[in-house]
Amino acid sequence: MRVVVFGLGYVGTVTAAGLASQGHRVVGVDIDAMKVEMIRSGRSPVVEPEIEALLRAGVEAGALTATTDPTSAIDGSDVSLICVGTPSGQHGESDLAFVRRCVDDVHDAMAVTSPPATGHHAVVVRSTVPPGTVASIVSPVFADGAPGDWNVGLAMCPEFLREGSSVADFYEPPFVVVGSSDHATAATLDRLFEFLPMPVHHVSVETAESLKYACNAFHAMKISFANEISRVFKPFGVDAREVMEIFCQDTKLNIAPTYLRPAFAYGGSCLPKDLRALQHLARINDVDVPLLAGTALTNELVVRQVTERVIAIDERCVALLGLSFKSDTDDLRESPNVELAERLIGKGFEVSIFDPIVNPHRLVGANKRYVEARLPHLNRLLADSPEEALDGAGIAVVSSSDRQVHEALKNHAPLHVIDLHGRLGDDIEQLVGYEGVGW
């Protein structure tokens, strides 16, 4: 394929050299004449392991060149990959000026050039951009169609390259993600990256735009978490490197997909208690742990958000389907569902509760004491079935994935359903009044 790569920084240079190595004919475009000349002469404008040899091989094979002229690069090409910088603005916003200029350059070049034999050209954003960028910046440029005989499709294809190992990452990325609503464009990108040993994830443009931010935020959080843990434990003579080395060997909970799913707040007898204990250890040693403090605050905001959503709906009867802190247990200690019920009752709502596991007559010890302190009239609030709980309720707040709860929702179809765990299925999500807690 004939590929144009706009922007010859770390991402653009590695992408251009990598694609050229797979037999594609690649032209790099940059406003910096020095970068262009370096590429032409087989030298890399960025310092990266293995990039110099890869780039030189592409140039010597005639598969890779560079120019400052977008028009000559675009002529007859199949794909434009936008790899320009998106630096922070004055207020932390992404500065998209280079993206805007690049898209305008592509459009203007098409007015005086010829399309490939297929007539189709994919304009693909590879830079990290906020969700909505393709829709608000790229799409309007081609709203009236592309110039001449060009047929343009748009996509977002985020990169996952780390400086210092970007060449290796190019050939072995964690995943390949294509966000596009255009089938021809998606097929083009499938062909472009077919040499990679993994399937392509086809998603919406907005999902593709969001993914890189989620990844980088999580990476930053992991670094901060390890550093906060080390600060907490150092006054006790603990080597946090040893702690975290063993920590990382748990691929069931720690380094795993477990817990990484948008849902309701955490609770139970362990997480809230142990997080408070860590914060206390930090305080007694004058150690700041803003990430741990922020974790508790974020959890509280989730409960508050759901409470405010219920209050905003013009209904006073609420069915709470699920009470324990997670499914398949009767543990009510620090359950966010108990907290939610308590807040709604305090606001004057009529609350009916069904939980397939919870039986107040079987609660013992700390579990019993906790719920008696928070919901002293639990017996009166509990319904024998989800149908009974839903009877007369205008709002169903659902945290249980029990089958009978699912069937009751489908048959009763309450006016409003607030899904707290996201596993109710498409038939429930298609109900008119359905909304997720974070989606």
In the sheet that 151-156 helps form, which strands lie side by side, from edge to edge? Answer: 64-67, 25-29, 2-6, 79-82, 120-125, 151-156, 176-179, 200-203
Alpha helices (runs of H) in 182-326, residue ranges in sequence order = 183-192, 205-233, 240-247, 271-284, 290-312
CA atoms within 13 A on the CB side of 236: 14
Judged by DSSP in three states, 108 sits in helix
* CA-wise closest residue to 206 among 267, 143, 138: 138
Judged by DSSP in three states, 231 sits in helix
* CA-wise closest residue to 287 among 343, 229, 365, 374: 229
Distance CA 106, CA 100 (A): 10
User: What residues are labeled active site?
Assistant: 270
Distance CA 325, CA 92 (A): 37
Distance CA 79, CA 77 (A): 6
Alpha helices (runs of H) in 313-385, residue ranges in sequence order = 336-346, 365-374, 378-381
Host H or E run for residue 92: none
